[in-house]
Every structure is written in structure tokens, then in C-alpha cells.
Amino acid sequence: MSNKPVTVVAVDGPAASGKSTVARQTAQALGWVYVDSGALYRGMTWKVLREGVDPTKPAEVIALLPRLTWEFFDEQHAIRFTIDGEDPGQQIRSELVREAVSDIAAIPEVRTFIVGELRKMTDFGSLVMEGRDIGSVVFPDTPFKFYLDADPVERARRRAAELAQAEGRGDVDQVLHSLTRRDQKDSGRKTAPLQIPLGARVIDSTKLGIAEVVALMLADLRQAKVVT
């Protein structure tokens, strides 16, 4: 923990836009802490499913919230967490969690809880935080906002490649259908919908590599005298 003034770089965008890898590499380049806000929503979803709670029934999910104990820690400049003493690990990347997380993330009480936890993470130091509402809701006052986007078919191709590597299977058409459905849910929800934050620099990564996007962001931060 540090008492020094902290800076937050917000990286928002839809699923498979490249924001996770970009944010992680930007944090590494700066020597700051990387935060994947989506992991908290996935963690909550994992716990809901593990407890046998129906993710489509908000009242049951809300009732579970106060009974949970979350602990956060910095592991090699990235935030990790346990829920009730258990680290969900890669289980938060499972297909069951992927398909249910938008339902959980749409519950206002869940978002209020997680936004509160995300804001506390400045206790760990300067952050590069990625998600869907970081620049619009979690840290709306940060002057360092980026919104990463890419063509839906390209995003589906990237996610399918990730799934093929991780799970041995990844159909682009099926992934495109899933991403489109999630985009609609994320953009259409009443609480903190996916949107371009006010003042954010929009970067279309369709034809850009990860290193190119990271370089663009670091150049902006250098121009703003955040880094040398």
C-alpha cells in the first residue's frame, strides 16, 4: 500500500477488443498495477453458480452479496482475489461463466458493490484498469481514458483463437453470435451501459497489433507528462 498520489488509466471497450492484453502490457511498461474489472464480475458469477443461485433471478443474487467475503491482493503488479477464502482461478473463464456474466453485471446492486471495490484499489498505487465503465462510472474524473474497439468479426476471430488455444475449440460464427448478444446486453442495460466515456481517446484496433496500441497509449501518457 502507498500514500503517494495515484494516477488511473481507464481502458474501456467491448469484449475481445484487445483491452485486457493492452492494459496489462501498458501497466507493465509503466510499472503500475493492472486491474481486470471484468474478473470481479466473472468472480461473482462463478460464486453465484457455485452456490446454486439462478443468475437470472436478481433477488437471489442480491441476497447472496452480503454473505460473501472478498479479499484482494497484488500479485506481481496485478490484482487477484479470493471469495470466501477460495481463489476461483481460471474457472472464471469457463463457458458457463461467460454465458451468465452479463446477467450478473446488469444487476445494479452488484455493480454498486463492485464499483466500490474497484475504487478502493487505488490503495495499491497507480492503476491501469480495464473494463466497460471505468472511464464513465468507476473513475469518471481521470483525464486518462481510452476506448478500444474493433470490427465484430475481427473480435470474434481473436476470441475464437484464444478459446482454441485454451480449450481446444473455438468456432468463429458461434463466438460472433455470443459476442453480439453480450454487446447488446452490455450496451442496453440501464445501469452503467457500455459506452464511450466522455473525453476518451477511441482506438480502432481492427488492423493494429497489441504493441502498436500500447505505443499509442504510452505516447499520449508521455505527452501528458504522466511518464517520461
- Which among 62, 83, 55, 89 is positioned nearest to 71, based on CA atoms? 83
* Helix intervals (H) in the chain: 19-30, 37-50, 58-64, 95-105, 108-120, 152-167, 172-188, 210-223
The pLDDT of residue 1: 47
The pLDDT of residue 50: 96
pTM: 0.89
User: What whole-number distance in Å separates Cα of residue 32 and Cα of residue 103?
Assistant: 31
Domain locations along the chain: 8-215
Contacts of 211 (CB under 8 A, 6+ apart): 25
The pLDDT of residue 139: 98
Q: What 8-state DSSP symbol labels residue 167? A: H
The pLDDT of residue 3: 58
- Return per-residue pLDDT of the chain as tens, 228 residues: 445 689 999 999 988 888 999 999 999 999 999 999 999 999 999 999 999 999 999 999 999 999 999 999 999 999 999 999 999 999 999 989 988 998 999 999 999 999 999 999 999 999 999 999 999 999 999 999 999 999 989 999 888 888 887 777 778 888 888 888 878 877 877 787 888 999 999 999 999 999 999 999 999 999 987 776
- For the domain with range 8-215, which CATH number is right: 3.40.50.300, 1.10.8.60, 1.10.10.10, 3.40.50.620? 3.40.50.300
